[in-house]
Amino acid sequence: MSKTFNSWSALKSALQKEVASAMEETATKSFMDVHKNVDAFYSIGGSGAYQRTGQLAESPEIMLSGGGDNYSMELGLDTDFRYSPSGRDTATIYTFAEENGLRGKGAFWRKTKEDVKKNIKESFGKRFE
């Protein structure tokens, strides 16, 4: 279905609505994906005295901002939590986890980056083919 616009401002407004919708869809799908990927880390369980904190599973965060002609999405892991008595900061612990340096399934962030690219292509592609 094609639309006809009688002014630049009407076209611009319609495009901005589609971009906003595509960004919201991308953010929603990407946030679900990062949770799924981080949860997969726990598919390789600990044993014996090894205690899981579950903090990694609770760490995904997202922020979508902007409007009009400018949007941004920031997806990340909250590193404010402090692991004790590891003696290492949370960002280091999460890097170990990503690189299979801890008991768990790594590459969750690498998978999330691939998912975000796929989500962008799908969300924008169906609106702007």
Predicted pLDDT of residue 84: 64
**pLDDT of 25-77, one tens digit each?**
999 999 999 999 999 998 876 555 556 778 888 999 999 999 999 999 999 99
Q: What is the pLDDT of residue 46?
A: 57
Q: Is the peptide bond before 60 cis (omega within 30 degrees of 0)?
A: no
pLDDT tens track for 71-108? 999 999 998 877 665 678 888 888 999 999 888 899 99
d(CA 126, CA 129): 6
Predicted pLDDT at 49: 52
pLDDT of residue 35: 96
Compute how many other C-beta atoms are within 10 angstroms of the C-beta atom of residue 105: 17
Residue 117 has pLDDT above 90, yes or no: yes
Partners of 62 in beta bridges: 75
Predicted pLDDT of residue 85:
57
Provide CB contacts within 8 A for 90, sequence distance 6+.
55, 79, 80, 81, 82, 83
pLDDT of 111 reads: 97
